[in-house]
Structure 1
Amino acid sequence: MTKVGPGVAWVFGAVHAIVLVAGLYYALVGLGDGNLPRLGGFVAGIAALVVLDLVERRLDRIPVAFLLARLGLYFAVAALDESGLSRALFVLVPFAAYLRFGRAVGLALGGLCLALLVAGYAVWVPGWYRDATYLSDLLMFGMGLVLAIAMADVATRERRAAARVAELSVATERNRLARDLHDSLGHHLTAVAIQLEKTAEFRTRDPAAAEQALSDARESVRHALRDVRTSVGALRTGPPTLRAALAELAGQDDSVTVRVDGDEPNLDQASVTALHRVAQEAVTNARRHAGASRVSVSVAFGAAATRLEVSDDGRGFEPAAANGSGFGLLGLRERAALVGGECTVESRPGAGTRVTVTVPRSRYSAGERIG
């Protein structure tokens, strides 16, 4: 059983409004018998449906009771509506049932609504099957049922896809944090253990060496704390723009320079976060593993894509031999792929490293631009 989310809740309000306008128009132009109490009951029924929608969305409980209440109000409104156009409300029954209880219940109720309409014609309208008006009404009602069920199916699939993407994003972030903690904190704690053992070993024989080892242990602890804060900070929502994110990154380390070319488009938050994290990880790898003294980060906002490049003057490595060795190359590629982008790593021993990530423009809006 699933919830009727705000993404499709507007459908109920739209159909209710159309039926209300049609019923009022029918009465105001004199097509009905001018029965004001009946018209007032019709309007009150539509108002009750609006209230029911609001209460159901707020409580999100006892869905069967809400579905039965909705069905009862539909019958009441249809009976009070002189125009007969309120039959359109019944297409919302399989729509709501599909969203709440699944495909089988939605299809079953859709078939039931169609059968009830045919039965009503058979009882109250002799020879209806030879009348083009009733046949046209039946055809339009059937098409409405098909469209309502199709819309419910699309909404259900989108909701499942969104939930799956969220799960994958969480899993990816968890894996990245696990790698960060293993590669950084594990390394520092191992170094601290070795330095403390050295301190104990040389405390009486070489006090100067023992003091240096203790100082090195303190420095390793400070590095570990800094890396832990960085990993925890990665869990928080990133800055609203990529320009702001990179400016913050450069402000944390004097050896990092940032260059931005072009006006930043209206990047979605997923792209901003992914590019920001790639830049963070590439800079961290350059400083921690490559011993780089200078790191350059550049981003170019082009007509077809956003291109991020991180270059360093470190010792370099063989990319083919580095996967799984703690350099985080897999994590960089995973982040780029998550937003439909591509990541390439160019490096060789003694020649530094360049990491490039390209996110296509289809990932973000081409409208509003940020200065």
Structure 2
Amino acid sequence: MAAYVPVRWVAPLLYGAVLIGSLYYAVAGLGDGPGPQVWRMPAFVAVIGALFALEAVGHRRPAARAPLLLARCGLIGAVVFLDVSGLSQVLFVLLPFTAYFAFGRTTALALSALCLAGLLVAYLLTAPGWYRDPEHVSDLLMLCVGLVLAVSMAAVAVGEQRARSELEAYAARVAELSAATERNRLARDIHDSLGHHLTAMSVQLEMAEDFRALDPDAAQRALAEARRSVRLALGDVRQSVRTLRDEAARPDLSDALAALAQDGGPRPRVTVQVSGDEDGYGTAELTALHRAAQEGVTNARRHAGASWVRVVVHLAEDAAQLEVTDDGCGFAPDSAATGFGLLGMRERVHLVEGSVAVDSSPGTGTRLTVTVPRGKTGRPEERREA
């Protein structure tokens, strides 16, 4: 099991109490006979000092659990032998207490039983008829109570340390998952926004290069479109920065989709049709629809060789449905060649409890269908109005 840290003030407090009590007994002459022998009290003080030193060693070398426990047993036994007050028997409770942290509950309970058995054996050997002596019976009962309290206190402390460790591990896991979620979100935003505009710029610059000598006016128009795509890309970058600062603006889906029809030059021809009311749809839902349409248009422009792309959105009371259809070369949706765009789109749509369906095969064009429920992430007032 994992080693836990004992409550550090318990052992020194008991050592100090026993030392003060024994010194008082010695000075007041309350012990058996005229007082301790000349060597007995210095030896007692020296052993108590060794126990204090052992605690310091235990804090510096917590891995040496078994040697520390054995040394503590020997030193406590020496203290009990040298003590004239009888108070040092309370130190026996430290054995199961410290063992609980190092070895667990079973070892602590076993040591508790051994402490009680040791005291009973000592009574049997040195005090016949001890069970009729109130003092001996009281000492035995007090030791039982002390052992129960010590084990209980150790169990509570170990439980608190275990809970703290689990909480720290959980917090670290949450931080790791939060960082991964944020990385995925940034990857989707970069792909969906900058990737789309860079694709458009690439097409426009290629057109400008191709028509530079044959049709200077067409080349100039392509350059103008490329500059426009640069401005749109910068706008998306600013929007991403605002999102990172929790200043995300609610998009206007109709305007955002209409801009798709103006990107990328004459091919493919993009038409957009939007019906229904955006009210009641949250920022995340509208963004998911916009990015899905953007991804469909970008794929048709970059990979499909399509001559036309049709974007149709219907915003109903319960859900919104987006369809992006093209007449391109198509592809196999289940193939390993599908890239980050479709993956990011599915992740974004699933975050708003929507669904994505891709109907395509080589040579037949592609139809992308995205369904997003209404009101799942909208503002509270929007959900109440819905």
Determine if the TM-score, normalized by the shorter chain, exceeds 0.5: yes
**Aligned mates of 2:184, 2:114 — CA distance in 1:** 59
> Which residue is equivalent to 1:5?
5
Provide structure 1 residue ranges, at least 5 long, that are not aligned to the other structure.
Answer: 231-282, 293-314, 331-343, 352-371
CA distance in 2, matches of 1:326, 1:135: 75
Q: After the TM superposition, which residues 304-319 of structure 1 pair with which residues of structure 2 at under 5 Å, given as runs? A: 317=281
Q: What are the equivalent positions in structure 2 for 1:6-85 lying under 5 Å apart? A: 8-32=7-31, 33-85=35-87
Counterpart residue type for residue 207 of structure 1 = L
Residue pair 2:51, 2:72 contacting (<8 A) in 1 also: yes
Q: After TM superposition, give the deviation of residue 316 of structure 1 in Å.
A: 6.7
1:290 equivalenced with 2:306 (yes/no): no
CA contact under 8 A between 1:290 and 1:316: conserved in structure 2?
A: no
Larger Rg: 2
Distance 1:327 1:155 in 2: 44
Shift of 1:220: 4.5
Match of 1:263 in 2: none
**Cα pair 2:250 2:283 within 8 Å, conserved:** no
1:148 Cα deviation after fit: 0.4
State the match for 1:201 in structure 2.
203
CA distance in 2, matches of 1:36, 1:226: 82
Q: Distance in 2 between matches of 1:129 and 1:329?
A: 76
SS of the counterpart of 1:184?
helix
Give me the whole-angstrom Cα distance separating, in 2, the residues matched to 1:151 and 1:76: 26
Distance 1:94 1:288, change over 3 A: same
Q: Deviations over 1:74-98 (max 9, x none)?
A: 0111111111211111111011111
The verdict on how the C-alpha distance between 1:74 and 1:12 changes in structure 2, with shifts beyond 3 A counting, is same
8 Å CA contact retained: 2:116, 2:144: yes
Q: Using the alignment, how far apart are the partners of 1:125 and 1:104 within structure 2?
A: 31
Does residue 347 (structure 1) correspond to residue 349 (structure 2)? The answer is no
Identify the residue that residue 112 of structure 1 maps to in structure 2: 114
Deviation at 1:53, TM superposition (A): 0.7
How much has 1:170 moved relative to structure 2?
2.2
Residue type of the alignment partner of 1:109: L
Q: Deviations over 1:285-327 (max 9, x none)?
A: xx225269xxxxxxxxxxxxxxxxxxxxxx8746998999689
Please state how far the C-alpha of 1:101 moved relative to its aligned partner. Answer: 0.5
1:288 match: secondary structure: coil
Q: Give me the whole-angstrom Cα distance separating, in 1, the residues matched to 2:352 and 2:52.
A: 54
Say which is worse superposed, 65-74 or 213-222, in terms of deviation. Answer: 213-222
- Deviation larger for 202-211 or 215-224: 215-224
CA distance in 2, matches of 1:114, 1:223: 73
Which residue does the alignment assign to 1:214?
Answer: 230
Question: What value does the CA root-mean-square deviation take over the aligned residues?
Answer: 3.4
CA contact (8 A) 2:249 2:283 kept: no
Relative to 1, partners in 2 of residues 1:319 and 1:37: Cα closer, same or farther, differing over 3 Å?
farther
Aligned partner letter, 1:201 = V
Aligned residues: 260
Aligned to 1:166: 168
Instruction: Name structure 2 gaps, 5 residues minimum.
Output: 209-218, 253-278, 289-346, 354-377
CA contact (8 A) 2:4 2:161 kept: no
SS at match of 1:31: coil
Contact 1:289 1:327 in 2 (8 A): no
After superposition, the Cα gap between the structure-2 partners of 1:196 and 1:52, relative to the gap in structure 1 and judged at 3 Å, is same
Taking the TM superposition and a 5 Å limit, the aligned residue runs for 1:91-106 are 91-106=93-108
Q: What is aligned with 2:177?
A: 175
1:195 partner SS: helix
Amino acid at match of 2:30: L
- The 1:11/1:189 distance shift into structure 2, 3 A limit, reads same
1:308 is matched with which residue? none
2:134 alignment partner in structure 1:
132
Tell me, yes or no, if the aligned pair for 2:5 and 2:101 is still in contact at 8 Å: no
The whole-number CA distance in structure 2 between the counterparts of 1:185 and 1:134 is 76
Change (3 A) 1:43 1:317: farther
How far apart, in 2, do the equivalents of 1:58 and 1:329 lie?
53
Give the superposition deviation at 1:165.
Answer: 1.7
Shift of 1:102: 0.6
Asked if structure 1 preserves the Cα contact closer than 8 Å seen for 2:12 and 2:52, the reply is yes
